[in-house]
Structure 1
């Protein structure tokens, strides 16, 4: 006799192979020292509750057992993740991810310093100067902003800055670095305080002897010119031997140069400069009255005139048939202080002296 058992229907599930990949989901690579990053693992055939173990350089990282891992990397770190699948028929049950090698750049601090590369400090009024900025850790294309007294100078965004300073100007430069790991990205330079000295007064040239020209302004040295060409002589008065147009520049103890004087036309005829023996002016300087006492070497009618530095005649008198001497008291109390010139002429020859009104 025979008997047949119950039937068992087999259910066969295909074998699956787990895998896992990791990617950087927060931060960058390369990154800067001190910057945190986050990795995320994406499993395939991991089952409902896969297990994770993150590794650095092949060594387990304590506590790093979730699908994400965050930390602050060091240069050269190699990060991987091992997945353990709980899927039925997973074979093998574990999988190792791709490796991500971290590139970490050290943080750098940018700096900038400025120096005067054209011109001087102190300088003279009207003289241009140039500043140059020298940077470290500024990157390939740093940006610059020059400032005067802490205020941005419009358009001054290159590594150099040229201008004509005023006394007391305080110049600085701000640098912005384009390096990825610059911290902070901005730096401010040292301060250069400008000292600007005024120019000496422009001199007037007078003839103080037959062959002597004198500049009216005192200075440390002088540059004399004849018809525009520099000639020898660096003192306030020079002896001249040639006719022509003379000009002078005054140089002071700050090495600043005055504006060139107006030309003085020197001629060897028609001018007779007197001495203390035949002309006395007193007091000189004076606040009001000048007494002029003259024993004439000229003959005939005499003309006395006083002019100011603008060439305007403020006093004029004629002495008819002079007896070769006279004394005049002249009141200049109503005129501004400054330099005036008295001229005595007989029509052929001229005598000239300077009056100083206080």
Structure 2
């Protein structure tokens, strides 16, 4: 029924446990000024329970028809609102014809007298409290005029609700209604309400202040802050603490010691506290304290680091130790030096320099003790450095061995000598000598074009750690020159050349081409025109080049085939050749390397020399233009 006459829920605008907006009772929530805002979670019919939206007991609101709990009453403001809707917006209900559209049924004129009455939930208020008075009118019409009066003087808006926070004690409030109905509907268009006298009591403002025993503390240290309340009312107050604007802990009370907050702060925390007072005329339910800023001092610890003049020494050497430290306190700290598995007080104390003779490899550390913290925030007062490894090397002996691939050399050739050091260090130095005289560069290798019976040596200058002696001399190498073979004598036999050296010692060359592959025999059969010579190699040394022979020469056989008139393949690994087409059917003879005819035949498409050993042969035949010679190589 309430909705039919324009009423909203008392929890209108609430979401779950969130209270509805209520800054203005005329424009927010249920728009009725004598109902309290509630959440939509109220299900118990307990008027003494605390309303989270006001901080006061629920009271009659739990019984309201427009609430979510018990339903058995409307407030005076709700009654006035429904009467207004009934006589203005829903006036046709009095003469409704059932299902007939209300818009089609005109109102029936009647001679009625408008009335107005005003009411308020209470007549006693605190200073600056909001006083709400509601007018209930009959036969007011669609556009009535409400003229409110304070002590007979016009005041307030043209509204069925009067709201003021500036009334004085003893002020009398009334209202004059001017109906918007015409003379055919009402006997008179004005009506005067009853009067209400308001009583105003003085406002007593509670206060709250908070203090901390110490606003600057060491990090990770608890701090306690105490709240002191004044004029908080007859009941035990409620406190809500805030850290940086966010609630800290629950709202508690009823005799608990919630006026003290103890917690671990962060640097720069701002702490406040709110007091929920129980005085009847306090301006606000909650009062906020002063702010206390807590500063934290970072906790520190000492550090110590040690260094040595050298971490790798020879056994028996002396090193110097030093220590550097931070946060050692306001007086000189105690520094104790340690060798692994033992306290080494005998080597000295303090930051250094400390000298120590190192006979063997050891590990060293230092321990620092803070003697006076000076009131600073230390979370520990002892620090031990990292362990420092000192390596003591034993003396080593350096040596060097020189070598060469061969101590025998051909005239004019160079030899390469290599030095192999032992304990030479990372960058050893060398002094090469030939027959006792310095020669060569400072490297591990030495190249020389020696003379017969030269003696080669070197000296090693080691940079290895703890080397016993430097420089050290190497072994000696004596080199010998091999004899050069005599220059070969070559003869031109027309179709081939001959050397005075046997097979295997020759290497035939073509001028402009170089060594000819496979031409190492005494007899050489040129396969193309050019200049040729022979070089002989014995005991690893080469002779001087022979005389140069021309092919074809003055004694050359005429008619030697050109390179494009060939048998194929040549050389042949099987002894079989394909005969050029223009020679097929002709008579031919095969001549060996010493000029002897070994075979006569008629040339066919395939020439077969399976029966002859590997070697170089001449094929002689008669062709257009005269006698032709072909060089055939059988390579098995």
Which TM-score band applies after superposition, normalised by the shorter structure?
0.3 to 0.5
Return the TM-score normalized by structure 2.
Answer: 0.27
Greater C-alpha radius of gyration: 2
- Higher share of residues assigned strand: 1
Structure number with greater CO (CA < 8 Å, separation at least 6) is 1
Return the TM-score normalized by structure 1.
Answer: 0.45
- Higher share of residues assigned helix: 2
